[in-house]
């Protein structure tokens, strides 16, 4: 069973479902020519896509353009159905920093045909994660900053104050469609600055001063 690490004791937490949010930063939507929607754009990744720092990113053979997307990731400690927004913060167990890797050429081709683009988002090693810190270490998810450097060059800078749908709204909304569970992950969306990665690249992620992660592409 896939799992993530929860600091400070590196406790292993089994992962249930990986929810992902698209177009949650207006500038990122604009850079890809996408409209901003009135409700969150939701897709899923299989747990087989999940890796930690102990594994390298493996580029899939079917794509020539893999983009990085750095994101705040939420780990749920409890779930439920139709969770009120005011109760949503109590569902959070921890926060981490991750990469939602996207086979952009594949995604664009499938979207042009009106077909689902799961393979563009769910391939092996497409969900890269740091360890998680307890939510008490980051008490206000609306004021978090995170960064991604590729080979020492800053590529993305995120500020959760710029989210179109903040964490509590995402949890409440997801629970109207799905029954959420302990161990669910929510990739909350990426800011502008997405770009291709290549073999040999080193991707370094930082979430405030609390947690970081580094991944090699091969």
Contacts 24+ apart (CB under 8 A), 147-150: 147/70, 147/205, 147/206, 148/68, 148/70, 148/99, 148/193, 148/203, 148/204, 148/205, 149/203, 149/204, 150/68, 150/195, 150/197, 150/201, 150/202, 150/203, 150/204
Question: What pLDDT does residue 35 have?
Answer: 78
Question: What pLDDT does residue 200 have?
Answer: 98
Which residues lie below 8 Å from residue 163, measured CB to CB, with a gap of 6+?
24, 25, 142, 188, 189
Phi, psi of 79 (to 5 degrees): -125, -145
Handedness of CA 112, 118, 120, 121 (dihedral sign): positive
37, pLDDT greater than 90? no
For residue 162, what are its two tokens? 């710029």
Question: What pLDDT does residue 31 have?
Answer: 80
All domains of the chain, ordered by start, with CATH?
3-216 (3.90.850.10)
Question: What pLDDT does residue 36 have?
Answer: 77
Q: What is the pLDDT of residues 148-202, one digit of tens each?
A: 999 999 999 999 999 999 999 999 999 999 999 999 999 999 999 999 999 999 9
1 — pLDDT class (breaks 50, 70, 90): confident
Q: How far apart are CA 132 and CA 27, in angstroms?
A: 27
For residue 173, what are its two tokens? 């909304």
29, pLDDT greater than 80? no
Among 103, 92, 64, 97, CA closest to 190: 97
30 — pLDDT class (breaks 50, 70, 90): confident
Which residues lie below 8 Å from residue 99, measured CB to CB, with a gap of 6+?
57, 68, 69, 70, 71, 127, 128, 129, 148, 203, 205, 215
Torsional class of 205: left (φ above 0), alpha (ψ -120 to 50), beta (otherwise): beta
The fraction of the chain above a pLDDT of 90, given in percent, is 94
32, pLDDT greater than 80? no
Mean local confidence (pLDDT), 43-57: 97
The rounded mean pLDDT for the chain is 96
Question: What pLDDT does residue 26 have?
Answer: 81
Q: How far apart are CA 181 and CA 179, in angstroms?
A: 7
Q: What is the pLDDT of residues 110-128, one digit of tens each?
A: 999 999 999 999 999 999 9
Question: What pLDDT does residue 91 have?
Answer: 98
Q: How far apart are CA 1 and CA 5, in angstroms?
A: 13
For residue 161, what are its two tokens? 């104050």
């Amino acid at each position: 069973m896939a799992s993530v690490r929860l600091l400070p004791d590196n406790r292993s937490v089994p992962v249930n479902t990986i929810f992902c949010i698209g177009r949650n930063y207006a500038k990122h939507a604009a850079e890809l020519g996408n409209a901003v929607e009135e409700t969150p754009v939701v897709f899923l990744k299989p747990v087989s896509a999940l890796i930690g720092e102990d594994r390298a990113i493996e580029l899939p053979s079917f794509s020539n353009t893999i983009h990085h997307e750095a994101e705040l990731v939420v780990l749920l400690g409890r779930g439920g159905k139709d969770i009120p927004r005011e109760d949503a913060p109590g569902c959070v167990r921890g926060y981490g920093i991750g990469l939602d890797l996207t086979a952009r050429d594949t995604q664009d081709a499938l979207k042009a045909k009106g077909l689902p683009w799961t393979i563009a988002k769910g391939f092996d090693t497409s969900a890269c994660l740091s360890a998680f810190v307890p939510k008490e270490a980051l008490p206000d998810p609306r004021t978090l900053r995170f960064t991604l450097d590729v080979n020492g060059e800053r590529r993305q800078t995120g500020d959760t104050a710029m989210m179109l749908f903040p964490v509590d709204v995402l949890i409440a909304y997801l629970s109207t469609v799905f029954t959420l569970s302990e161990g669910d992950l929510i990739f909350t969306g990426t800011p502008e600055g997405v770009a291709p990665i290549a073999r040999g690249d080193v991707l370094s992620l930082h979430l405030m001063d609390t947690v970081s992660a580094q991944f090699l592409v091969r």
